[in-house]
Each structure stands twice: as C-alpha cells, then as structure tokens.
Chain A
Amino acid sequence: MNELTFGEARHLTVRTGLGAEWGSIKKLEGLPRERAIEYILNPAPSNTRPVPYLTPWNKLEPMRDAGAKTRADAWVMAQKEGQRLQGWWIEQLFRTNTPLVERMTLFWHNYFTSSIQKTLQPSLLHQQNLMLRKHALGNFRNLLRAVARDPAMLVYLDGYKNVKAEPNENFARELLELFTLGHGNYTQNDVEAAAKAFTGWGVHPRSGKFHISGEHHDGSRKLFLRRAGNFTGDDIIEILLQNPRTAERVTEKFWKAFISDINPPRQTVVQWANHFRNSNYDIKTLMRVMLNSDEFWSERFRGTLVKSPVDLLIGTIRTIPYPRENTTKMVNLCRLLGQKLFDPPNVKGWEGGDHWISTQTLLVRASYLAKISRGNLNIRVKTGPHIRAKNNEEMLEWLLAVPPLNKLPETPGKRRLAHALLKDPAFQVT
C-alpha cells in the first residue's frame, strides 16, 4: 500500500502549497499517493481578492508625454499603486484556499517576468497576473500565446516598439533564450527573423489592449530555425513548441522550483519533457508526472530547496497562526529579502536557491521568525497560537523537512519548541 504517512502528506503539502498547513496535511494523510496528488491538482475554484484602484493605462500613459511635472506625477502614481498591487498579491497569498494556484502563478511570474518598474503600469501588471493565474495549470501553448499578447510584456520587453521600419529584438531574444530554447540553440539570424515575425504586435494607445497593426507588420519571407515562410508571431511560437528544448526548459524550471536546487539528472528531464510535449503541453500533466516521480519523494532531495521569501514570510503564518505583520510591513519584508513581487530584478527573474541567502537576508529572516514566534514563553497564555502537533516527534516532522541542526531546548513546551525550530537553519529549507 502506498498510503501517505504524516511526513509524506506534509512533503506534498509544503512543496505544492504555502506552508505546512495542518488541515491540508491531515486531509492527505492516509490517502493513496495518486489520490492525494489528484486532490492537490484539482482544487475547488476560489476567487481572487478585489484589486485596489489602479489608474488605467490610457490615463497614465499620456501623462508621460505631457511635460516634466506631469511625468513626475505619473511616476509617483505608478510607485504608489505598484506598492498597492504588491500588497494585493501578498494578501491573496495569505488568504487563498488554493495555494497551488498562487504558487504556480508565482512560478510563471518568475518564468515570464515583467516589472512595475520598467513598465510603470501597475494596472497592466495586474492584468498580467490574472492572465498567468488563468493559465497557471492550463496549457503551455495557450499561455505562451497569451504572454506574447500581454500588454505588460509588450511594454516590458519593448514589443510595442517592434515595427517593420525599426525592428526591436528584445522580446524575440528572450522568447528564444529564456521562454523556450535556451542559449546556444539558435543564432542571431533566428532572433532577427523572430523579431520580424512579431512586428506590429503592440498595445493600442487608447484602449491599452493588445492590438496588431497590419501597417507595421513585416509580412516578408523569413528564415527561422532552418525553415522558411511568411511567418507570423504565432507561427514562430508553433515552431518553438516543436523543438524538444522548449519542454525541457520548462521541466528544468519545474525541477528547480519544486524538487531541488541540485541539478536534475538529464534522463529525468528528457523523460518528463516528453510526457509534457506528448500531452500537447498540458501543464497539469507535467505537474502530475513530477509529483508521481521517485525523485519527488526521494529522501535525497528533501530539504534541498531554500524557502523563497514568500514561502518563509507567508508560509510560516499559514503553518502556525502567529500574529502577523500588516500589509505594508510584509511588502517591505519581501523587498528586504529580495523578492519584490511584480518587480523581479531582471528579465531572468529571481535566481532563487542559495541566492536567497546572504548575511543580510539571513539576519532579516531570523529576526522575522524570532519576532513572530517569541511571545512570552514562560507564561501559559490562552491567546498564544494553537499548536496542533501532539508531541515533540510530530512537531519536528511537521515543521522541518530535515532533522534540526541545533540542540532542542531542554525546557518542555510546544511554543518554546516551535520557537527553537523556527530559529534552526533547517527551517529555512523545504
């Protein structure tokens, strides 16, 4: 029988969700593995929170052409609203009933990056977030086509400047390098051909919606990856989807996000990528293959992923209901820990893994965990968080992916033990 133990139910919950949520673990414990995985993969639909007011594109954009003072105002508005938007997602992450959807949306945000800083259009970033959310566990082809049409992306990678008379290669290059094939699998000529195929794809100046301008589209014959034709942007995407590297690249990113920071065996990547491609790029299929794999459950990869700032800040509160910081403070903590939502450091996104941890971020992480879990450990208070684990062994198994490195406190008490475990380096990994 392969019914999930408490520890396995925890592993599945933590790697696919946000925090070691007791309720989820208990629901999965005892279920056959395949059923538990299907339960995770098919969550009941849940709503996203209403978004705060964000100035629409067609109001904000003209302000930038209207003199220095108005331009400065537009900048200030974009900054303020950008913070509001960050707060919106943080609250969504805190309260969601479908943590897998949030996690996948964050995954795609890091895969198809765009930033409120370069675009200075928070409302477009919000729309992009809804788009990523919609396709989060859907079909990668549809997702890629939607990304190529996404206004925030068109601004972020200068697609809207890509016109027949003056092609801009930025989007085309990243499409090949980061979104599909990866470096070394194409030439500069391919980048130029792809850029041409996408000419005329832009943002309508008034509506702020995706818009193809026939006048600016270069309909000429292109030679792309040794094929010739009067390719459009969608043709380019199709050709890229026929190349096995595309599925492999997504698979590699899945591995780094859900399994381990240790590099995957080549064979595994090829095998999973094949399943993915054969399913016509069904993202849920790739997820299912991964969650059912030996690698996912292998002890070897437990605790080899450093928790992302979101996982640490929000996941901890979703694990134990400690009093939490307010939205503004959470936005600031994300910044200090190097994960500004809607504002990744560059087009490659957050490097993650070891890169989350520096002397500076480790101190901030430790201070945060110490602060939320401190309380007065010597007084029995009714208001302290209710800790569900029944004994020390269960506490360890619940809160840590790997055994603690520090000595456990000698004085008994669940809250004291939780405090000590949160301070342990082992709490930083998952």
Chain B
Amino acid sequence: MDRRDFLKLAGAASAAGLAPDVLWAAGQQQSNGQRPRQRKLVLVRLKGGNDGLNTLIPHFDYEKYKSLRPNISMPHHKKKIDQRVLGDSGMSMNPYMDKLRPWWKANDMAWIQGVGYPRPILSHFESGDVWDMATRSGQSNKGWLAHILPSYQKNLHGIVLGDELGPMAGKDCYAIAMKSPEVFVSQAELFEGAQVHKKVNNPALAHLTRIQSQVMGASDEMIAKMTNPRQVGQGFANSKLGRQLESVAKMIINGVSAPVYMVELDGFDTHANQVNLQNHNLSYLADALDSFATAMKRHGHWDDVLVMTYSEFGRRVAENRGGGTDHGAASVQLVMGGKVNGGVYGSKPDLHRLDEQGNLRMTTDFRKVYSTITQRWLRQRNPWAQYGTLPFV
C-alpha cells in the first residue's frame, strides 16, 4: 500500500504518524473553535510598479495633476472624480475600482499613501527585493515575513500561488510556492515512495530530507483538507487573479493551516498606453477582491483576514511621450479586512515638491506598514518597531 492509499484509508490523523509535521497541524485543526482564530494575511503583489496617482487621484490638486499628465490623467468630466472622493481625504478612488466602494463604506478598507523608502531604486528586481526583504537590495536573502512567521506558528507558514517565495524566502520559513493546490499535490507525488528518513547524519542530506518532508507534509495537509472541499458557493471574478483568490478562499474555508497567502497580478509596468492597461488591471483587482471579501464574509472569516496590496514602486509623476509613465518611487497600498479601520492614511502627495528624478517623495516608510502588520495584526515581536505603526488595523 502506498502512502496516498494509506492516507485515504486512515485519514489525516494517523497518516500524521508518518510525517511528524502534520501531527501538529491536525491537532490544531481539531481544537479549532476553542483557541483564538488564526489571523491571516493575504498579499496581492501588483507586479511591474503600480501608478499610485491614477489609483488614488489627487482631487484636491487636480489642476496640477492634470498639467503634469495632460494625456493620461483620469478625466474630470461626468463628475467621475468628484463623486469618488474618499471621505475628507481629498483623494478619489479610480472609477474602475467601484466594486470596492461598498467595502469602503463599510469601513473595511483603507489606503496608505506616500509609501516608499529612502533613496529609491528604479529597477524592478532590486526594488522588488527591497520590498520583499525589507533591506537594501543584496543585503539579505531572507524575506521580511521569514523574520516573523517562525515564531507565529510551527507548521506551514505560507502559500504562494506563483513561483517565487518573495517575502517568505529563506531557510527558516516553511512556505510553498504552487500553481494551485491541485497541481502541487500532483507534483508532490514525485516524492511518493520516499522513505521516512529518521536520522541522517550528513547535514546536507538532513536538510534535503527535512525540506522534502515539509513538501510531503504540506501535500498531506492539502489532500486531507482539499479532497471534497467545502465549496466557496458563489460566483467569483473571472480572471487569473480571481481564480487565484478563489483558491485562497477555498483553502481558508477548509482550514488549511498557513497564515499567509500570496497572489500576484502582473502588468503594471505601464510605459505606454497606461490608461487602458492600468484601468483594466485595477478593475481585475477590484472585482477579484470584492469576490474574495464576499466569500470570506459569507463563511465567517472576514474578521480573520487582512488583505494587502504592494508593488515594487510607483511611477513617474509626469507622463512620457508614449502615453505612459516610467519607473517612479512612492505609491499607494490598499488594505482590506473585517478588522480594518477604514480611511486614508499617510500624507497627501505633494506634486509641487518632487525629487530630482521627478518622482513623488516617500512620506510613509514601507517598514511602518510591515511594523503595523507585525505588531497590530500578527502580534509578533516587531523588528521594525522603530518605524512606528499606523492605526489602520
């Protein structure tokens, strides 16, 4: 009888005896309900560098905005921008994100503006590393979440629907990158027939077998929880991001133990034809987040999740000749969740005092956002305490 057959017959708890890591997860599952609910973080990476100024439009300084972006500013006409001012923030949400307006009204959604870091780097890769590692590029291979998650829980730390572990990279973090739970389980079958290696003296082999048993453990958990899973029971935004977030919703609803999930929406590198590209992308984002929030609410998980978007950088304030914008610096981040304190945080963008390259100056260090999540949401020892926190959650 092979491992999987055994698993099917015996159920997850006894199969756990084969892979010690799973036992803990199973135990946690059974006592669910008695212990406090696990708080989860869902990261949405907007790949390519999302333009903050056309996401949250500076209604309070519209003329200046319009003068810097004669061809790509969001149009004022039909009062589109006027009607979408968020509270007294002076900022308007892009009309293609209207699906999220109910969540804004319910106080379940907040924006943080002016987010960036000092001496901005304009390379996708290097700036992406800065965001993932929370250090200057090249100074660390350890993702920012890898500093926090090992003490948050012992078992599976996170699941990335994509191919890079990003903020969960590093030896101490137990995270899995997968296309989908289904594809992952079938890939993990490659290790089928692997013996359980009790004690290996060779440290290289010991590391390999430990990682292999992590993969198998995660695969066992997926099989246990995602075979005949509870369905989300609603329509979901029909886009790649929508399907990814549906997968995340399904995992959360079915009690997968990972506290962090990460999905990705590509296509924000809008050097040309920005208005169409970005508006479409933002509507994919809004539709998918709306479906996700609805599903979480419907299944009683909305208070357990915090959704956060991030992107490697914002874009140049002035438009270029191609109807687009080049790589920039400070941008905006969106957070959502039942426990979120709605509002717009951080200072308004100052279009009159740009940096030497014509980029927005950062007014909120991104590590302040990490600090907030660490301290106020995950309640962990906070390596970024010096940056303070924001009351968005």
Contacts and interface: CB of A to CB of B under 8 A. Distances in A.
A66 interface: no
Given A117-B125, A360-B177, A425 B271 contact: no
A355 B141 contact: yes
Interface in B192-240: 193-195, 197, 200, 202-205, 207-209, 211-212, 214-215, 218
A357 B205 CA distance: 11
Interface in B110-150: 123, 125-126, 137-139, 141
Given A346-B137, A359-B174, A354 B204 contact: yes
Interface string A337-365: 00000000111100101110111101100
A72 B123 CA distance: 12
A261 B202 CA distance: 10
Given A359-B176, A359-B177, A426 B187 contact: no
A425 B190 contact: no
A305 interface: yes
Contact of A363 (B141, B171, B200, B215): B215
B190 A359 contact: no
A303 interface: yes
Contacts of A348: 138
A77 interface: no
A425 B197 contact: yes
Given A367-B187, A425-B209, A358 B204 contact: no
Contacts of B141: 345, 351, 355
Interface string A98-123: 00000000000000000001100000
A397 B204 CA distance: 19
A366 B190 contact: yes
B138 A347 contact: yes
Interface stretch (B93-101, B320-328, B359-367): B320-328
A367 B190 contact: yes
Contacts of A353: 204
B163 A303 contact: no
A174 B271 CA distance: 35
B104 to A, nearest CB: 35
Nearest to B316: A68
A359 B215 contact: yes
B346 to A, nearest CB: 28
B195 A406 contact: yes
A358 B142 CA distance: 12
B275 interface: no
B204 A306 contact: yes
A358 B169 contact: yes
A390 interface: no
B141 to A, nearest CB: 6
A340 to B, nearest CB: 10
A237 interface: no
A69 B321 contact: yes
Contacts of B204: 261, 303-306, 353-354, 428-429
Nearest to B215: A359
Contacts of A262: 203
Contact of A359 (B125, B195, B218): B218
A381 interface: no
Q: Which of A72, A118, A348, A363 has the most CB of B within 10 A?
A: A363
B191 interface: yes
Contact of A405 (B174, B190, B197, B211): B197
A382 interface: no
B215 A362 contact: yes
B175 interface: yes
Interface string A201-232: 00000000000000000000000000000000
A363 B202 contact: no
A55 to B, nearest CB: 19
Interface of A: 68-69, 72, 117-118, 261-262, 303-306, 336, 345-348, 351, 353-355, 357-360, 362-363, 366-367, 370, 402, 405-407, 423, 425-426, 428-429
Given A117-B125, A117-B126, A359-B177, 13 more contacts: A117-B123, A118-B126, A262-B203, A303-B205, A359-B175, A363-B188, A363-B190, A366-B187, A367-B187, A405-B205, A407-B195, A425-B209, A428-B204
6 contacts: A303-B205, A346-B139, A353-B204, A357-B211, A363-B184, A366-B187
